[in-house]
Structure 1
């Protein structure tokens, strides 16, 4: 088991290094003069050159990369070129917002999709047809439109929930729940049907196995067969789908945060990209990749626990 974890961890560290390196060099060769952007269009040549020297843009890109990599290993992701704020502080402020809605959305997706998928596999009929129809509709409708409809109905028409803004959990737990409910629902709705369809397909396959018929012939309760045997053996494919959904939700959060006026990492990275704030862009990319690696590692560990054969693959 230890070797299994070390292999996955080593692959994750390599992935973080490769993507962060590519991001650093790609943002360094955009063709835009960041010094001119920072100094302003009316700045003199001397003023632009002074900004370039201050930011270290006059140095070779390899030297700047090695300096950034050394700092990143120590936890220093640099300083924003526009606000002079440490990138780690920017991430620290924005990450809880994004994680709040993404983790809530993935929990909703897990609970609802598992229930609906198992029900569709057992009942079939109209439940199965409804699930397939919902999968098609939610796949075709973009999440930003879902978010706008939810805000219009629950916030504007009914006034039950706020249409935007974020309240920290430490400030007011109740207000925190209210502020993330609609964004999380907007992210989850598009994923629930797809995950439920995957759970349904996996459960149908498992329920056809000979050992399930043997367990039924022994008179075991249906709930025991489902929870202790069928659902556990159907879980690997569902877990893989959920890990992919988590990554997709991180990307989808960029749009959802704009719809609901949330200042998460999606909004921060889009603003930084428009401004040409390279340290913020690279820093957020690194943190996002680390999140993906952690989620994939947790998924691999869960799969290894459910199916020991995975550890040797």
Structure 2
């Protein structure tokens, strides 16, 4: 029941956040130079044709009225339609959401496993591994994901032809090709995340290893493996979970560049295109989807806290 109350409380508290983000996004988009109606009718259309298109798209209304009309549609489960293609925004984003989620979840899993393993090894053995983690952290923060993606494409896709250059294969269509299509994007997204998680894991494990209860267990003859997995990692996990949540949100932002480089039909690509075209319904819907993903990630972090630390549950 405590977990259920936590979930309900977090979801209810996220509603004002969704409203604020959507309103703020609507205002910012309206301030960006560009006129969808003029783009649709072209520069040589008459003023009457231009005004008719503005009226059809609802752009002749004031900004508060436009936002209120969009908000009413959201309450009914309707995010509107694209100003250019006429395709329903909900269907458009639902078709692209699995691509972005596949990238984010796969990159998070790879980053978490590799980062924690590297951090634990460097904390236990020290020496060259500590310097390796520090160098990897610097490289991960310095190397842009899109540049690394281009390098990976040049070597593993173009030169060696081991992996596909671009595109995305749905999981239900061919699981093997789905995994192959994710390898290069996930690796390019994960470098900086692995470095950050490894460094945080190493610091947390080293700090936990100096605690008095760990020294008492070592003095009483507890096995090193039992101490590491049952006590050190459990107590060191809280800051690592926090960093993992932040990394997952940052990976969501990184999908815009990675999806563009690899020509993957995800939320990042459609958001970028809608921004260039000033397609307000698509931008609003994409931002709403991304905000919901962030809320879910934060909720999962809270639940992980409660699982790892009984004091948090209390």
TM-score range, shorter chain: over 0.9
Mapping of residues 1-313 of structure 1, within 5 Å: 1=2, 2-311=4-313
Distance between the aligned counterparts of 2:110 and 2:139, measured in 1? 19
Distance between the aligned counterparts of 1:5 and 1:253, measured in 2? 27
The TM-score, its normalising length taken from structure 1, stands at: 0.96
CA positional deviation for 1:311:
4.9
2:115 touches 2:194 (CA, 8 Å); kept in 1? yes
Q: Secondary structure at the match of 1:57?
A: coil
What per-residue deviation string (whole Å, max 9, x for no partner) do you get for residues 266-311 of structure 1? 1101111101111001100000010000001110111122123335
Distance between the aligned counterparts of 1:217 and 1:6, measured in 2? 45
2:36 touches 2:83 (CA, 8 Å); kept in 1? no
2:93 touches 2:286 (CA, 8 Å); kept in 1? yes
Distance between the aligned counterparts of 2:199 and 2:313, measured in 1? 27
Q: CA RMSD in A?
A: 1.4
2:35 touches 2:278 (CA, 8 Å); kept in 1? no
Between 1:136-145 and 1:22-31, the stretch displaced more is 22-31
Long gaps (5+) in structure 1: none
Long gaps (5+) in structure 2: none
1:147 touches 1:182 (CA, 8 Å); kept in 2? yes
Distance between the aligned counterparts of 2:238 and 2:294, measured in 1? 18
Distance between the aligned counterparts of 1:140 and 1:217, measured in 2? 43
Distance between the aligned counterparts of 2:147 and 2:87, measured in 1? 34
CA positional deviation for 1:15:
1.4
